[in-house]
Amino acid sequence: MNSMKRLGSGLIWAAIVALTLTACSPSGNENNATAGNTAGTQPPAASDQASPDASPEADLNWIGTWQLEGSGETRGSVIAITEQSDKQLVFTLDAFYVPNPDAEEPTPNIGNIQEGVAVLDIHTATFTDTDLDFTLTITHTGDGLQVVSSQNTGYFGHGVQVDGVYHKN
């Protein structure tokens, strides 16, 4: 019976990740770039590399699916960044928490941000919802993302956590 409950929780997590990946997959264009949006989609020209304004941080590629460290059957979070320009990121965030995984029919608490737009400042992106007094700060560390939220409710169910280190899938 216990393995059946774990299987159910695992299926919930798998469904959330599958839906996230499906919803965030670009349609026919792997870079999903808009006009004038070349950040992270093409290697810099040799003349750009010699520019005194060019910095390694400015060339960070944010595009992709990132998973919270420690995600598993009872809690997890995935950020899918679908668009990147020099001024903003477009992303979705899906997270869940199963408060009672041993229940006969475990019910997850969920939270998400759909088509969030975060203001980008080199290696830090900030999403703000002033109506709900909520801020999500995403910092690109080079090999992952560090996410810190204001922890206010409005986006996420009880016990759903999004703060932590994310790694690219």
| Full residue range of the structural domain in which residue 162 is found | 2-28+61-168
Domain annotation covers residue 53: no
In the chain, how many domains are there? 1
The answer to the question of residue 94 being in a domain is yes
- First-to-last alpha carbon distance for the chain, in angstroms, is 32
In this predicted model, which residue has the larger pLDDT, 58 or 77? 77
- 135 in a domain, yes or no? yes
Longest Cα–Cα distance of the chain, Å, equals 63
Helix (H) or strand (E) holding 78: strand 75-84
Pair type for strands 109-121 and 145-149: unpaired
The answer to whether 85 and 37 are in contact (CB under 8 A) is yes
Cα–Cα dist 57/18, whole Å = 31
CB-based contact 33:62 (threshold 8 Å): no
Instruction: Look at residue 40 and tell me if it is in a domain.
Output: no
Residue with the bigger pLDDT between 157 and 141: it is: 141
User: What is the percentage of the chain residues whose pLDDT exceeds 90?
Assistant: 57
* 104 domain residue, yes or no: yes
CA torsion sign for 143, 77, 29, 55 is negative
Query: Within 13 Å, how many C-alpha atoms sit on residue 137's CB side?
Result: 9
What is the model's pTM? 0.67
Whether the pLDDT of residue 1 is over 90: the answer is no
Residue 47 inside a domain? The answer is no
Residue 79 CB coordination number (10 Å) = 27
